[in-house]
Structure 1
């Protein structure tokens, strides 16, 4: 069974006290790490929108996470606590609730996400969406092209930390612009947010980005930055 990283997006109530949010997140991280198979949990406000909080949980397998979700005694209080800080009013027809999804990285765990416990102070997370029925052979081609892009980026960009993770989502029904999609996720470690933005303004980057942006079948892309606090659990 393959290891997976769970990606969670939590829109936080604008009026939620930071102390209350921190208390809930700490309690729920403790709950996660008490589950068999949960190896570590990372958390961060999103650089681009501090009202969006991200969690990244490494699981030994998808089955381990599903076992936790089926355990009402542990999962019920977990959801109840989370409900107290999530901005449910932000959901609607143009902004539907986005359930967690899982990524099988080629070389787990994705250490570029480790933040305060790792080498990279900040991580860029790039999620590129493709049709839900993209074939296995086509996924392999897309993966190879994206890996080539990341290698060439490393040769010209300043501020990279030399940490990259790449993998496909397990789920094929991730909603993006109203369409069910499958995501190829790249995590790239940087010295700072500013270093990435400066790289994006270079001619070298502008020549490289079409390698990913113009891949046939791309539904769309999302990019954000996190500086995670990482909590380790039992292996």
Structure 2
């Protein structure tokens, strides 16, 4: 990925228990609103979404688009970022934060993260994986995602069917490689590369219905045969995102 190409930051931060960031009348809500304002004011910022993980509501997830990874890293290395981290420390346990960047296609990945529920899935290969191995994983994950959105083999959109019954479909997806190397117990010297997928759903139940289908089992098998064993805390999670707009606080 070029350091001057658009990138999407995915940050998973741990909220301190019982922190009411959604309520702007509280001190926590006011700090959080200022946090969003501060991010928006940075050079290279494009747009941001935030939400709590459905599996663990104390995990706060940001999806932030930047005009380049260098813009974001420049801010992170500046004195103003250290002040930013200090300002938000009453809300967050920053020692457990996880920040990565992905070169999603398409960019921006607005369709999946504008859905009521957004799935994140990560597929790891050893750091020593060849270009052909990476291409094969990209193709297999795209094939699986196409099934989720109800595309036919010919590429046309269609409602999913199984056994004569209509199954739900995802609203859209985007995929991209994680820029940073990932730690993985089964990787090359415990290092891995990771392909990320962002998939939009009307509900988590819709995802479950598709996942339980015979067609999904067929499409996911080639993916499972290629990738390293899943590490459950990072392999998949779901978020209900809110898009933030300047001047409208957290109620967007």
The TM-score bracket by the shorter chain reads 0.7 to 0.9
Does residue 1:207 correspond to 2:205, yes or no?
A: no
| Alpha carbons of structure 1 residues 9 and 176: separation in structure 2 relative to 1, 3 Å | farther
Matched, 1:36 2:49: no
The residue correspondences of 1:84-103 to structure 2 (distance < 5 A) are 84-87=90-93, 97-103=96-102
Checking the alignment, whether the CA contact within 8 Å between 1:126 and 1:185 is kept in structure 2 is: yes
Cα separation, partners in 2 of 1:98 and 1:79, compared to 1, 3 Å? closer
Q: Which runs of 5+ in 1 are unaligned?
A: 92-96
The corresponding residue for 2:108 is: 109
- Structure 1 distance, partners of 2:245, 2:174, is 19
Cα separation, 1, equivalents of 2:183 and 2:9: 16
The answer to whether the 8 Å contact 2:168/2:209 transfers is no
3-state DSSP of counterpart to 2:35: helix
CA pair 7-210 structure 1, distance change in 2 beyond 3 A? same
Assess if the C-alpha contact under 8 Å between 1:5 and 1:102 holds in 2: yes
| 2:193 maps to 1:193 | no
Residue 170 of structure 1 corresponds to which residue in structure 2?
179
| Rounded Cα–Cα distance in structure 2 between residues aligned with 1:81 and 1:131 | 38
Contact residue 128 and residue 218 of structure 1 kept, 8 A: yes
CA RMSD after TM alignment: 2.3
Counterpart residue number, 1:94: none
Change (3 A) 1:81 1:213: farther
Cα distance, 1:176 vs structure 2: 4.2
Structure 1 position 148 matched with structure 2 position 135: no
Residue 137 of structure 1: how far off its partner (Å) = 3.5
Q: Which has the greater radius of gyration?
A: 2
Runs (5+) with no aligned partner, structure 2: 151-159, 162-166, 247-252
Q: How big is the shift at 1:144?
A: 1.4
Alpha-carbon distance change, 177 to 7 in structure 1, aligned in 2, over 3 angstroms:
farther
CA change 1:32–1:98 in 2 (3 A) is closer
Structure-2 residue corresponding to 1:126: 121
Using a 3 Å threshold, how does the CA distance of structure 1 residues 189 and 207 change in structure 2: closer, same or farther?
A: same
- Structure 2 residue aligned with 1:82: 88
Conserved? CA contact 2:148–2:210, under 8 Å: no
1:223 is aligned to 2:230: no
> CA shift at 1:232, angstroms?
4.5
Match of 2:7 in 1: 4
The structural deviation recorded for 1:195 is 1.1
Shift of 1:161: 4.1
Query: Which is helix-richer, 1 or 2?
Result: 1
Matched residue SS, 1:36:
coil
Change in 2 beyond 3 A, CA 1:193/1:22: farther
Please give the secondary structure, in 2, of the residue aligned with 1:143.
helix
Give the distance between the partners of 1:111 and 1:99, measured in 2 at CA. 22
Q: What is the TM-score normalised by the length of structure 1? A: 0.83
Instruction: Determine helix, strand or coil for the equivalent of 1:101.
Output: strand
